[in-house]
Structures are given as C-alpha cells and as structure tokens.
C-alpha cells in the first residue's frame, strides 16, 4: 500500500505570495477565505493559523516594504553620517526602488485612505522612523521646534509619503524619473519649511495681516 505524500505546511510567506498572485491574476480579492483556501487546496485552519484576514496579509506586505527599506539603509556605512533631510531622501528613493519588484501590487491595490486596518502597521512603522528623523533635525538645528506643531511633523511626513506613492502609481515617465524629481522637490520643500525662518516668517506675516484686517474692520 502506497502512503499518501504529506503536503508541506503553508508558511505565512506562502499564503502571502499565493494571495497576491491570485488577486493580481483575477483583478480582485477572493470572495472569502473559503474560496481562497479551495484554490490552494488547504484547510481554513491552515489560513487562520497564520493570519486573521486578507487585510492582515496586505498590511503585512506594506509594513514590510517600509521595514526592509530601513534595514537596507542601516546596512549602508555612509547612512549614519547623513543629515536628517538626506536620510529622508534616501528612504524615499530606497522604498520606491524596493517597491519596483512588485509594482503591480502598488498600482492596483495600495490601500485607500479609508482602509485604516491595512495601512495602520505601515503608518506606525513609518511614524517611528520619521520621529527619529525629526529628533535628529532638532538636534542638528535644521528643524525648528515649534509649539503645537513639532509633534505633528511625523504625521505631515507620512502624508507627504502617501502623496508621493499616489503620484508614483500613475507615473508613466521613463524609469519613473518624474517620481524621483517629485521626491527631491518635496523633501527639499519640507526641509525648507521645517527650518527656522521660512514657515515662521509666513506665520508672522499672516498674524500681522490678520491684526491689520481686524483693526480696519473696526
């Protein structure tokens, strides 16, 4: 009697790779977990042993893109000597180069702002990284410490990150040169605004004009 060969257990990476293959091939997410595991010929228990939902699989991938980009930068001997804005610039370049391996995932299925469950782990990891960048900038003097605003810098940087991703998804330029240009210009603008002087002057002007308009109306 021939014994049936025992199937190799599915790992979390196996599930993730098969999931992306299926949704990119079919152009949509599986109807439910049951339909998904039927295609893989595994039990539902095998799926839930690793993740709780499709959202968790997608969230894992986006978070890992950020984490792996940070790891790559950390392995660069020169990175430690970069200024805060140079580090952010290097992160963006590294992230998008890394994302090219599976660009279809970003183009077709990057989570919308309303998909909080999917984006949350990625956002959390980036905010932690961004805070390190801001802290370095404060120490260098390249970032102005502004009351009620400094704590919001990481969140503003994440929104900047998201806007670049959205632009990149639609970028049709050769070798995505327009995305590279946008990264450089947006980081430069962010650095200029974060420094003491630029934003402070704009705020001071705004306050002056507001006072003058208030006096004129009275």
Residue 107 — pLDDT band, cuts 50, 70, 90? very high
Residue 8 lies in a domain: no
- Per the CB < 8 A criterion, the answer to whether 73 and 132 are in contact is no
142 in any annotated domain:
yes
Instruction: Dump pLDDT digits (tens) for 132-188.
Output: 999 999 999 988 888 888 899 999 999 999 999 999 999 999 999 999 999 999 898
Which tokens hold the place of 2? Answer: 């021939």
Evaluate whether residue 56 is within a structural domain.
no
The pLDDT, as a whole number, for residue 1 is: 36
- Number of Cβ atoms within 10 Å of the Cβ of 58: 26
Q: In this structure, is residue 45 part of a structural domain?
A: no
Both tokens of 187, joined, read 């980081």
Q: Tell me whether residue 175 is in a domain.
A: yes
190 within a domain of the structure (yes/no): yes
Q: What are 207's two structure tokens?
A: 């306050």
5, part of any domain: no
Determine, yes or no, domain membership for 105. Answer: yes
Domains held by the chain: number:
1
Domain span including residue 107: 78-208
- Where do the DSSP E strands lie in 91-197? none
């Amino acid at each position: 009697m021939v014994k049936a060969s025992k199937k190799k257990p599915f790992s979390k990476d196996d599930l993730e790779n098969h999931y992306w293959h299926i949704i990119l091939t079919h152009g949509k997410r599986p109807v439910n977990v049951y339909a998904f595991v039927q295609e893989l010929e595994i039990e539902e228990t095998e799926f839930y042993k690793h993740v709780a939902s499709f959202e968790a699989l997608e969230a894992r991938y986006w978070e890992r893109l950020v984490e792996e980009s940070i790891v790559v930068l950390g392995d660069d001997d020169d990175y430690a000597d970069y200024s805060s804005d140079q580090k952010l610039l290097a992160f963006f370049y590294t992230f998008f180069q890394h994302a090219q391996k599976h660009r279809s995932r970003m183009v077709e299925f990057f989570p919308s702002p309303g998909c909080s469950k999917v984006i949350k782990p990625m956002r959390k990891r980036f905010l932690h990284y961004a805070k390190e960048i801001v802290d370095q900038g404060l120490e260098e003097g390249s970032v102005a410490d502004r009351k009620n605003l400094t704590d919001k810098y990481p969140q503003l940087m994440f929104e900047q990150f998201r806007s670049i991703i959205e632009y990149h998804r639609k970028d049709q330029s050769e070798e995505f040169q327009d995305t590279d240009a946008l990264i450089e210009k947006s980081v430069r603008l962010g650095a200029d605004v974060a420094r003491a002087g630029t934003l402070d002057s704009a705020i001071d002007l705004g306050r002056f004009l507001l006072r003058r308009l208030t006096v004129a109306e009275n």
